[in-house]
Amino acid sequence: MSESFAEARHRLFEERYALSSQVKAMHVLEELRRSHAFCTLWFDGRAQSYSTILLDRQEDTLMVDLPVGYDGRVAPGVEVTLLARLEGVITGCRTILREVKDDGLVLSTPEQVYQLQRRQLYRVPPAVDDPTDVQIQRDGARPLVAIMQDISAGGLRILAPKPEDYPFQAGEHLPRLLFRLRDSDELSAAAVVRFAEQQTGHNGGVVLGLELQELSSTIRETIARYVQTRDREILKSLGLGMQSLAPARPESWSRRVRRWWRG
């Protein structure tokens, strides 16, 4: 499992991405079954991923097709991670393998279902080698250099040092931010602080949620392209999408996929 996948999977299973009710979770699982969406499955302790489809959903169990390349050497009781992309939204759950049958795997119905992107303006973290410095200019205060934590088409989340002049406050107008994205020139924008969270520790900084303002069309398009690129990279690292399917599938698998897809 690559480091980027481990990071993305950790983000997915944070509490803030959990669906708010069991009714919503069951609805999402039913949509996965009905749409025959391709899923990617991992067994705990194994680096290899497998492609499968959710075949059936009961009150306390899920049934997925036998994954391509599955060797049968996984005992019931092992933890299973199941991820898919449903209408462009990364969706997943963690559950337990209950039984191995000739025509599929029986999983326990998960206690929780997660969706990584539930808003149109979803956020993505910069890649390890991407620029992260954000210069902040404030009215009546010295400039600061912060670190970008994530970015969306409409805003940034940054970690700023604790200012010596006066503290950040929600609603504060920042007349100018300067930052770069991968392969971009320096970008300039104004922003409004939407939240400020003081971090604990001796050198604790301040996490700021910023809404970007006064963006030119060129800068807006540059940010949107970067967010889309990072989203695709994260999806690829998760092994989601048609390209994650094994190149050589048994003929029976192909026929069944076509039949399920056509309904």
Please give the Cα distance from 69 to 118 (Å, whole number): 32
- Which residues belong to CATH 2.30.110.10 in the chain? 3-118+239-262
Q: What is the pLDDT of residue 240?
A: 53
Per-residue pLDDT of the chain (263 residues; tens, 9 = 90+): 333 334 555 567 877 788 878 888 899 999 999 988 888 889 988 878 888 999 999 989 999 999 878 888 888 999 999 988 887 678 899 999 999 998 899 999 999 999 875 444 567 899 999 999 999 999 999 999 999 999 988 899 999 999 999 999 999 999 999 999 999 999 999 999 999 988 876 567 899 999 999 888 899 889 988 988 888 887 777 655 433 333 344 444 445 544 444 44
Neighbouring CB atoms inside 10 A of 63's CB total 19
- Mind giving me the DSSP string for 100-128? EETTEEEEEPPS-EEES--SSS--BPPPT
Residues 6+ apart with CB under 8 A from 49: 40, 41, 42, 239, 244
Neighbouring CB atoms inside 10 A of 130's CB total 16
Cα 236-239-243 angle, rounded to 5 deg: 75
Q: What is the pLDDT of residue 117?
A: 57
Please give the Cα distance from 117 to 67 (Å, whole number): 26
CATH 3.40.50.2020 assigned to 3-118+239-262: no
Q: Residue written as tokens 């999806």? A: 235
Q: What is the pLDDT of residue 46?
A: 82
What top-level class would CATH report for the domain 133-215? mainly beta
Please give the Cα distance from 190 to 208 (Å, whole number): 14
Q: What is the pLDDT of residue 95?
A: 96
Residues 6+ apart with CB under 8 A from 27: none
- Which residues belong to CATH 2.40.10.220 in the chain? 133-215
